[in-house]
């Protein structure tokens, strides 16, 4: 389950269909498969005298799954925060589609993150007092949008939570809570989903279930996914692994296997 390329039914076969951009016309029309979902140009982020991100340029293409890897302190979280509009670079530009994030006021940036970006974090970040359905639809509620019931039903089925819609997070396992968080990230049909160590707290089998959901979002609906991870087995679900060291991109690996990622990792 956690070493996808070692088994037959997993991402290699899925990747062969990776250019297939699903049955959801609205989504497909908006995302222009193959174009740029997010582009970073010469992005630098400094904290005092620390350069966390050093002149990084990168494009996340629509309908792709990218793993960001690197040792602790190499700049992975900073990269994700700058690419997703959670933080502003010290210099350089970030574009989501045609929108340059640096030109946005804070309120517009907040709205953009809510409406056009999906997030999955290690800690799930569900609202304890809300049931599964309200947690999943929260970004729609906050954005004053009505749920597209067909899409909501599909997302809920995909993550396997249809029987649990009235449960509170405390009644769910960690893996189930993370599946709810994945559904919440997908419900707005975001242009890109950023997942920061989403499986770090899960056992390998449960982690595999969550990663498979992200893979399916790419293969079945043309979603764009960026995964920050320390785990070579998790990176093996991606189309490309990108390696960071001291705030710079030092390598990339297409169709990564866990073994190949580990080998590259050892020389970082």
One DSSP character per residue, 219-238 reads: HHH---EEEE-S-HHHHTTS
Q: Which is nearer to ligand ATP, 77 or 240 (CB)?
A: 77
Provide the minimum distance between the beta carbon of 225 and ligand ATP in the complex, in angstroms, as a whole number.
18
Q: Between 179 and 264, name the residue whose CB sits nearer to ligand ATP.
A: 264
In whole angstroms, the minimum distance from the beta carbon of 50 to ligand ATP comes to 5
CB 90 within 8 A of CB 141: no
Q: What residues contact 242, with CB distance under 8 A and at least 6 apart? A: 58, 66, 67, 68, 69, 249, 251, 252
* Closest to ligand ATP by CB, 72 or 170: 72
Of 64 and 78, which has the nearer Cβ to ligand ATP?
78
CB of 51 to ligand ATP, least distance (A): 8
Helix axes 204-221, 149-158, angle to 10 degrees: 140
Cα torsion through 37, 158, 139, 188, rounded to 10: 40
The CB-of-88 to ligand ATP minimum distance in angstroms stands at 12
Shortest gap between Cβ of 38 and ligand ATP (angstroms)?
17
Q: Is 25 exposed, middle or buried (0-12, 13-18, 19+ CB in 10 A)?
A: exposed
Region label for 92, one of left (φ > 0), alpha (ψ between -120 and 50) or beta (otherwise): left
Using CB under 6 A, list all residues that contact ligand ATP.
47, 50, 52, 70, 72-78
Minimum CB distance to ligand ATP, residue 201 (Å): 14
- Nearest residue (CB) to ligand ATP, 125 versus 171: 125
Q: Which is nearer to ligand ATP, 77 or 93 (CB)?
A: 77
- Cα angle vertex 74, ends 73, 80, to 5°? 100
């Amino acid at each position: 389950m956690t070493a996808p390329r070692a088994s037959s039914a997993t991402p290699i076969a899925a990747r062969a269909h990776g250019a297939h951009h699903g049955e959801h016309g609205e989504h497909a029309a908006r995302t222009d498969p193959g174009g740029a979902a997010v582009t970073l140009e010469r992005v630098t982020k400094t904290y005092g005298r620390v350069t966390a991100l050093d002149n990084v340029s990168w494009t996340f293409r629509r309908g792709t799954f990218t793993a960001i890897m690197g040792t602790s302190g190499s700049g992975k979280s900073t990269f994700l925060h700058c690419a997703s509009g959670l933080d502003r670079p010290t210099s350089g530009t970030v574009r989501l589609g045609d929108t340059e994030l640096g030109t946005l006021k804070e309120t517009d940036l907040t709205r953009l993150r809510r409406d056009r970006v999906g997030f999955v974090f290690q800690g799930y970040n569900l609202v304890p007092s809300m049931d599964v359905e309200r947690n999943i639809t929260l970004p729609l509620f906050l954005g004053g949008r009505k749920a597209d019931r067909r899409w909501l039903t599909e997302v809920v089925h995909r993550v396997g939570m249809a029987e649990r819609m009235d449960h509170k997070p405390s009644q769910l396992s960690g893996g189930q809570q993370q599946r709810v968080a994945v559904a919440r990230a997908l419900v707005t049909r975001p242009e890109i989903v950023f997942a920061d160590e989403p499986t770090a707290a899960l056992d390998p089998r449960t982690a595999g279930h969550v990663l498979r959901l992200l893979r399916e979002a790419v293969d079945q609906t043309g979603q764009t996914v960026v995964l920050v991870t320390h785990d070579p087995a998790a990176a093996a679900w991606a189309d490309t692994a990108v390696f960071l060291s001291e705030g710079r991109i030092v390598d990339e690996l297409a169709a990564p296997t866990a073994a190949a990622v580990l080998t590259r990792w050892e020389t970082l």
